Structure 1
Amino acid sequence: MMQIQEKDLLSKLKTNFGYDSFRLQQQEIIENILAKKDTLVIMPTGGGKSICYQLPALFFEGITLVISPLIALMKDQVDSLKANGISAAYFNSSQTPEEHQKVFDGVADKTVRLLYVAPESLSLLQHVLNQNYISCIAVDEAHCISAWGHDFRPSYKQLAFLKKSLPETPIVALTATADKATQEDILQQLAIPNATKYVSSFNRENIALEVRPANDRIKQIIRFIKGKPKEAGIIYCLSRKTTEQLAKKLKDNNINAKSYHAGLSFEERSKTQEDFIKDDVDVICATIAFGMGIDKSNVRWVIHYNMPKNIEGYYQEIGRSGRDGLEAHALLFHSYADVIQLRQFIANTTNKDVQEAKLDRMKQFAEATVCRRKILLSYFGELIEENCGNCDVCKNPPKFFDGTLIAQKALSAIYRLEGKEAMGTVIDVLRGAQNATILEKGYQQIKTYGVGKDISWRDWQHYIIQLINQGFCQIAFHLHNALQLTEFSNKILFNGEKVFLTTPVEIEKIKKETEVKSKTKKKVVKDTLFERLRKLRYRIAQEEDIAAYLVFNDATLRELENERPQTEEEFLAISGVGQRKLEVYGGEFMEEIKTFLNEKKKSRKDTTLETFNLYKEGFTIDEIADKRGLKPQTIFSHLSKLYLEGKDVSLDEFISADILNLVRNAKKVLKNETALKPYFEFLGEKVPYEQIRIGLTILQKKR
């Protein structure tokens, strides 16, 4: 095979994918694959896994066969490649015999560079599964092959035959999440035990992590979404019923939402997925089946309505947000009811011990009082020294207090209820409730009845969960989740040991903060250049019947907004713009940028002229500011601009001769300085900024 230089790789990277440099370990991985070596790639969602096999496919003589678990995603992935000028196709059971034949023809004459196929359809490709046609095999979402993984697919188990059938063909296994046991299992199952391993950092710094108690979840979610208008997001739920109920509640609150779960027909699922990818739907309420392999880069948030059963699943699901590297938000609601339900789910599974241990780690993450990212990364064997600064614990560290008396009251109640009652009843006893259960069982006679009526129900729940976490009491899951004492309980009840608890999160405070953000956010979604470019992108995507982010992702739009390119060279320098996208979309986007700039220039001109007219009518600065709803400083800047343009404005009336002299002397010392602050400091902070600005404007005109 011909020797491929680094410049050849970088040239294809820019031309076909629009990027000027490789990320993480992409270049090493690509070179390893081009050397025809088996490869295992563990790279976080959004880290650029796809390029690792898509770029080598442009150099291989034969096709690259990509095994992908979900048929619904294949069209999206093929559309993405075609948008980048790369010939690609997919093969699955939903196609007609004519469509199948077209794929075979493309493989035979080697016009197709990448072919996507589901593992179930491999048997239909038997006559092309040989080294004459196939140069590389990529197994995407490779964790599906392992029973240790979080999303096991039996159909993946058969893939070991590929290495036996095509021993000279390199196999690339790729996934975003796999602990060490899963990594080893993937290599064994694919019969590539000597594959080169590339494990990238799992740290997705742009995703803010937050956990809240599951009180009034739906109200909190509605507030959260309304604070992020027009932003795409996914809400993960444990049950199909919850996805449907939640989607209905959101729609009732004017939020553009749909549900997605395995109970829907293939057509309904495909349509929902397509609507989300094409920005026709903002919010998807889904079971975990949704989102795998979706390359939608502008998902801005992910909410977990229920707690996931393990950290791998949680990590992969939150990784579906912020793939473009811009800020994203992961919000998890935590309740003990979810933990109980998940324990019931795994009670009869084959690897029950492993799953219970994984659930415990997930629970520890949700109940953490230290940096959450440290816990998340350490699970994957990655240690960071500094706190992340981008999780709720770092932003608002919990406050601890001496909760010994609270602990003694709770443990006494558990003791007097003889370890027979679940948390709800224990709290009712502590609060002196008079419901049927309490009265029927005579619990109002217990000595601890009502000793905690000054603490709210939710706060008691918060404190008891902490006592469970610290090992002072436990849930007997096999006895209807009854709360029982442990060997540590006596330390608190009889040995005088102190307990430190955290104060509960103030949900009201969260609500108010969200509402404030919501109000400010709504003002911002106006006629910005980003908004104009977003609308243009949506229109083009509709016309071409592709996902909006396949035109350009949000990160590219943000860069276009900041850089405002006017020539082809400037446009091509933007990250995410390759040669084909420049040719196909460049003209329209540059036209939109020019139109926006011209309109803003015109409106700026109009606004200064309006100030000029009022000034000529004899109104004072304060009166003009008041009439126009602007600040006096803005009016001064208008008059300065008009003065420099030669309009009949007398700035001398706003500054004394003495202050003008002070500014003149300062200018001699500061010379070419244009910022106002150095003048302000040089003049002993005695001359106001507006006076300095007027003085400099007069001196500039005279010069």
Structure 2
Amino acid sequence: MALDPLPTLQRVFGFPDFRGVQRDVVERALAGQGTLAVMPTGAGKSLCYQLPAVMLEGTCVVVSPLIALMHDQLRAAEAVGIRAATLTSVDENQAETRARFLSGELDLLYVAPERASGGGFRDLLSRGKLSLFAIDEAHCVSEWGHDFRPDYRLLKPLMEAFPAVPRLALTATADAHTRADILDQLGLPHEGMIVAGFDRPNIRYAISPRDNINRQLADLVAAQAGPGIVYAQTRAATEKLAAALAATGRPTRAYHAGLDPAVRAKNQADFVASEDMVICATIAFGMGIDKPDVRFVAHAGLPKSIEAYYQETGRAGRDGDPSVAHLFWGAEDFARARQRVAELDPERQAGERQRLSSLGALVETAGCRRAILLRHFGEHPPATCGNCDNCQSPPASTDATELARKFLSAVFRTGQGFGVGYIESILKGVSTERSLMNGHEALSVFGIATPEEAPLIKAVARALLLRDALRANDFGALEFGPGARGLLKGGDTLSLIEAPKRERRRRGAGAAANPAGDPLFEALRAKRRELAQEAGVPPYVIFHDSVLRDMAAVRPRTLSDLGRIAGIGARKLDAYGAPFLQVIREAA
């Protein structure tokens, strides 16, 4: 007779029912079937192995790529009463953990792929009882994935040594090619793939040309309450941006691989525990945290691919509350990316050029951002989503084909040896010592831009660089790229998107945790902070904001009433119910 997981879901996790495809994934695991679950961040992937681990006899071995991520997941599991442990290089209780596993006292055992693939670990597993193998961030097994980890390729032999133990692979980010590779590399049946869809409807996507990034980010931070992540492309940029944002009064930290390990660890811990901190980081940051209340993710430069963009923005709003993902890009980002592609092995260049082209389509579109994202992953979304910048404020467009041709002509007639600023001055007819010396004031393109065209010249240059109609060499001089021919010969056109002017909003005008300003909600948050400090865990491990909002709305009077709120399982009700009820009574 099949096990019914619903009573355990309600008792342990406090949820009235499953979300999305969770039940399908859990039931396959309970039935001993191999499964690949492709589920967006925030859809509850960890529950898909935690729940079977509680119900099945033996230990579920969870392979996870980063130690910090394992420790976050460990805290969350223990908070709901799951018997869990990590076996990592920084754990001082390794002997105790092994003993707990061998005596059957663990529901979950988290390990890194490097340890899991070792012979000593296989020997340990052979002396205990296993219920399930769970491979988290499973795209790391594929060379087609954006975070390839070679040690993930060694997991299949480990699992084949225990053929009776079911396998569950989980990822949020995998296109069709990567999914097929995951199935093959982990020995999973192709009929065992469950794809939940990639849409994150609570995230508002916005993309803007980069223009004074410090001011743009300061405006974003002022508009968004709650924790946020700003991704920068270099270590130096993370520190400069952190310093600039700290001047706004917001608590801010930097994070990159060049920091002293103790400083880096403290900055991460401070961010995880905070309810309003902004961390400026390289892309090394993010996979290692399991923080559900990140209210915004900003990119100060172009991500590596749409897959990377999707995963990095997916770190916002994992609790389901409204969140923002804002990308600021520059034409020079595309120029640098093309240079990196040109330096790759020839067999990789075509695929990387296609990825770059997909990013170009995302930033250049006047249509729905979400639709482009979802179509990239093989979905068929509606034409509009209502929750991206273009859907909420449809941009006007200007036919700039003639100005683009003038710009290209100026680049050609000046010998393809000058940068954007100089070409702009030639088109505007600005006389300079340099233009006189070069004799360029006698050219037919000198002063050819009309007064209406002059304000658009920089935007046209950016669009031409994005389309690869122009390329900047090592000295910043503009040269023709393959996209120039179609414009000059009259076959191609160029439209400019006019970004709508946005007023600066007061701090917290965006996705605030407490939009109604309910004093009871703030009192409950204060109690949560107090309990979190006592327990040495981040506040969200106690309860998510959504749970506190429900408490403030329902105002339960008894433990029984409190236990009916989604997200409050038996363990948390026993541990925290009384103090929160006291806050509610005092507010009556």
TM-score normalised over the length of structure 2: 0.92
1:130 matched to 2:129? The reply is: no
Partner of 2:281: 286
Partners of 2:310 and 2:513 in 1: how far apart?
A: 30
* 2:101 and 2:128 in contact (8 A); partners too: no
1:76/1:440 Cα in 2 relative to 1: closer, same or farther (>3 Å)?
Answer: farther
Partners of 2:473 and 2:134 in 1: how far apart?
A: 43
Partner of 2:270: 275
* Equivalent runs, 1:362-441 vs 2, <5 Å: 362-433=359-430, 438=435, 441=438
Query: Per-residue displacement from partner, 1:247-291 (whole Å, max 9, x unpaired)?
Result: 111123322111111222443332222211111761111111111
1:398/1:296 Cα in 2 relative to 1: closer, same or farther (>3 Å)?
Answer: same
1:468 CA displacement: 6.0
Q: What is the aligned counterpart of 2:238 among 234, 243, 257?
A: 243
Partner of 1:595: 586
1:120/1:387 Cα in 2 relative to 1: closer, same or farther (>3 Å)?
Answer: same
* 2:67 and 2:288 in contact (8 A); partners too: no
Partners of 2:286 and 2:194 in 1: how far apart?
A: 24
1:529/1:593 Cα in 2 relative to 1: closer, same or farther (>3 Å)?
Answer: same
1:450 matched to 2:444? The reply is: no
Same amino acid, percent of matched pairs: 37
Partner of 1:209: 205
Q: What is the aligned counterpart of 1:81 among 70, 77, 81?
A: 77
Partners of 1:302 and 1:194 in 2: how far apart?
A: 34
1:51 matched to 2:47? The reply is: yes
Partner of 1:258: 253
Partners of 1:498 and 1:109 in 2: how far apart?
A: 71
Partners of 1:195 and 1:289 in 2: how far apart?
A: 34
* 1:187 and 1:195 in contact (8 A); partners too: no
1:121 CA displacement: 2.0
Partner of 1:568: 559
1:488 matched to 2:481? The reply is: no
Higher relative helix content: 1
Partner amino acid for 1:164?
A: E
Q: What is the aligned counterpart of 1:114 among 108, 115, 137?
A: 108
* Equivalent runs, 1:17-96 vs 2, <5 Å: 17-96=13-92
Partners of 1:468 and 1:134 in 2: how far apart?
A: 55
DSSP-derived class of the 2:458 partner? helix
Q: Which has the larger radius of gyration?
A: 1
Partners of 2:437 and 2:72 in 1: how far apart?
A: 60
Partners of 1:313 and 1:255 in 2: how far apart?
A: 27
Partners of 2:159 and 2:511 in 1: how far apart?
A: 57
* 1:131 and 1:166 in contact (8 A); partners too: no
Moved more, 76-85 or 456-465: 456-465
DSSP-derived class of the 1:116 partner? strand
Partner of 1:105: 99
1:437/1:544 Cα in 2 relative to 1: closer, same or farther (>3 Å)?
Answer: farther
* 1:306 and 1:338 in contact (8 A); partners too: yes
DSSP-derived class of the 2:126 partner? coil
* Equivalent runs, 1:526-545 vs 2, <5 Å: 528-545=519-536
DSSP-derived class of the 1:397 partner? coil
For structure 2, the residue ranges without an aligned partner over 5 or more in a row are none
TM-score normalised over the length of structure 1: 0.78
1:171 matched to 2:128? The reply is: no
Query: Per-residue displacement from partner, 1:367-424 (whole Å, max 9, x unpaired)?
Result: 1111111100000001112410111111111213444543343233234234444544
Count of paired positions: 582
1:518 CA displacement: 5.2
DSSP-derived class of the 2:61 partner? strand
* 2:222 and 2:507 in contact (8 A); partners too: no
1:478/1:148 Cα in 2 relative to 1: closer, same or farther (>3 Å)?
Answer: farther
Partners of 1:342 and 1:572 in 2: how far apart?
A: 52
DSSP-derived class of the 1:514 partner? coil
1:462 matched to 2:459? The reply is: yes
DSSP-derived class of the 1:262 partner? coil
1:580/1:481 Cα in 2 relative to 1: closer, same or farther (>3 Å)?
Answer: farther
1:324 CA displacement: 1.2
1:555 matched to 2:546? The reply is: yes
DSSP-derived class of the 2:444 partner? coil
Partner amino acid for 1:156?
A: Y
1:539 CA displacement: 1.2
* 2:323 and 2:511 in contact (8 A); partners too: no
DSSP-derived class of the 1:447 partner? coil
* 1:297 and 1:323 in contact (8 A); partners too: yes
DSSP-derived class of the 1:534 partner? helix
Moved more, 549-558 or 587-596: 587-596
Partners of 2:6 and 2:515 in 1: how far apart?
A: 38
* 1:163 and 1:192 in contact (8 A); partners too: no
DSSP-derived class of the 1:5 partner? coil
